[in-house]
Amino acid sequence: MSAGKVVAVCISKRKGTPKTDAASGVLEVGVGLKGDAHAGDWHRQVSLLSVEQIGYMKEKGIEAGPGSFAENITTEDFPLDSVKVGDRLKVGDSAVIEVTQIGKECHTRCAIYHKVGECIMPDKGVFARVLNGGEVKVGDPIESSA
C-alpha cells in the first residue's frame, strides 16, 4: 500500500458536530486524539476520511472541507478505501493506529447530516484505536505499518 499524507488534524469539543482543523495534535495510547470529544477507552478512538471523499461531496454542490464529517485525520493520496479491520497504519514519526471498524451506523441524523444533507462516514469512514502514541501534524506521512 502506498504512502499518503495528512492534510488536516481535526478536533471538536462535542460529539456529532463538525470538527475544526487544529493543524496538529497528540495521539494517546488507549485514548485517541487528545482533547477530542470522541477520545476515550473504546474502539473508535480516531476517525479518518480522505480529502478525495470530501471532494466527492463537494462535486455534489455541498460546501465541505476537512473536519466537516467529524473525522479526526483527513488524508490525501492514501487508499483508505482499501484498508481492512486489523490493518495497522503509521501516522507521522511514531504514532501507530489499528483499524477497528469501517463505516458506522448513524442512529440519528447528526449535525453533519443536517448541514450537508448526507453523511459519508457510514460508508467511507475508517475508525481506529491508538497502539503507539505520538504527535500528528499536517504534512505528516501516513502509510501501512507491518
Amino acid at 133: G
Residue range of the domain that includes 49: 4-137
User: Which pTM does this prediction carry?
Assistant: 0.89
- What's the rounded Cα separation, in Å, for the pair 46 and 35? 12
- 5 vs 124, more confident: 5
CA 134 to chain centre: 16
- What's the rounded Cα separation, in Å, for the pair 29 and 34? 10
* Residue 144 belongs to some domain of the structure: no
* Residue 16 belongs to some domain of the structure: yes
The residue assigned the cell 479518518 is: 48
* Residue 146 belongs to some domain of the structure: no
Q: What was the pLDDT predicted at 43?
A: 94
The total domain count for the chain is 1
Longest dimension (CA), the chain: 39
Looking at residue 9, which CATH number applies to its domain? 2.40.33.20
Q: What was the pLDDT predicted at 103?
A: 83
* Residue 43 belongs to some domain of the structure: yes
Task: Give per-residue pLDDT as tens, 84-136.
Answer: 999 999 999 999 999 999 986 665 655 556 666 666 676 788 999 999 999 99
Task: Give per-residue pLDDT as tens, 15-43.
Answer: 878 899 999 999 999 999 999 999 999 99
CB neighbours of residue 49 within 10 Å: 25
